[in-house]
Structure 1
Amino acid sequence: MALISVAVTYRTALVTHRLQDEARSRAKVELAEDLFRRYRVPLLASAESLQSRLHNVLSRGFLRGYLHSGDSENQHYVRHNTVYVLAEHLAWLEVLRREQRFLDLESVKSTKELFAAIQRIHHPLASDGLPGPFRVFRGHQRAIGEVMLHRVESSEGTVTDVLGYAAFCDRLETDPGFASWFSRLLAEVDDVDAGGLRGNERLVILQNELVGLIELLDPRGDWLPLKHRERLRRADVVLPTSRTPNG
């Protein structure tokens, strides 16, 4: 009888352990789904804004006519808004990073795929193995994301939001500390315009990876039309083999 009792106890413990593991796995999946649900739309919208701007700049000469038009209002807009759409996307990436930091969701397939896609966006920006402007080291990427965030009151309480374009422009004019994070990027908009496809390998690769993120977030085109996901040609673009700075 003692052996039977030990066997039953052991089997019960195994079943309990398995049920607990299954419950934890379900809870992680639910947390991942909730995270995806809450940030899918703003992350998708910011990725689309940035990839669309890069596509227009690099394949259609979007900047050229406005930067040299002599119209100061147009010059201000294309320079500041181009930097803004990059900063906005980095801000939403920072929000997502903060939200998932303590949730231990690395084992969830959808989360793993999402953050792998995000890392592929961080990489070309940070790499010193790619020529061209708009190199932003990883720490600088996070810092830009941080300064773009602010707290707002909503029906759900106090939540984190990202500065809108008007507030961004106002902070550039009134807050020297804030402006210092963007001064080099604003100056390099002219270099982006002058570089073309061959001189902007970094941004060509970035645009491709943004389209990849959009495809992951909206595979069937429920939010963004599939026809608006054209990748820039990268036949002449070689991924870097040199080090990518961690700083």
Structure 2
Amino acid sequence: MVSGTPDTRLRGVVQGPYWGYDERTPGPMRRRELPLPQVVLIIEFGPPLQILNPRDSSVAARHPDGFVAGLDDSFSLTETTGVMRGLQVNFTPLGARRFFGVPLKGLARRVVGLGDVLGPEASRLTEQLHEAPGWAARFALLDRFLLKRLQAARAITACVPWAWERLLASGGAVEIGALAEELGYSQKHLIACFNEELGLPPKLLSRLLRFGQVIEKLKAGSFQGSWAELALAQGYYDQSHFNRDFRQFAGLTPREYVRLQLPERGGLRDG
């Protein structure tokens, strides 16, 4: 894994670093990908990653050049043939709306081929990135490509950026009714704007923000209390509320997730 820092002008558009990867395993590698408040762009340099149907593990999609995974509220399964090489860019919801230049309702809960969202630019970009002399050159090329597209970005419905930033700053704790009231809109109108522009309603995005913060803490091993204390610290009403969200988003209980995905972290205590 190689990380690259995006151009500072992409702050608020790209979430975290760029990731370059070159993985070789003795056999197929399957992973559970959790839904987070981000839109993921994958550019493939090797055999395409297979997207599996979570119900029966059948192959649901394969996109040779790469794909875009829109905002979702359920986990997905991916599988490699044993070789995986490419680039990953994680967009913020607003960043993805600006970069792709279309409302995200068409990407929500879907994995779409790169060519279907970028058109002829997809193959050219993949070829240029593959032929670039090293990861630093690839990350610089990505900077230029993203900034060029953003220059032509169309405006987003005005209430959505403001409301999203409020949700983000609060970690998903702001009531949707309060946001609508501050904007002078009805809740119905605000929800419709979010569904159109970002693909998911604001309440569901708030839940994904809270869930994402929980996953960060579990991966970092930075929380030393009990499961109940973690739930309350992240704004859940109680542990059962926390468990319901975890099952919906991860398809596992919190304890199962730590045991299967983060065995080196151990577990939080009960109570």
TM-score by length of 2: 0.30
TM-score by length of 1: 0.32
Structure with greater helix share of residues: 1
Structure with greater strand share of residues: 2
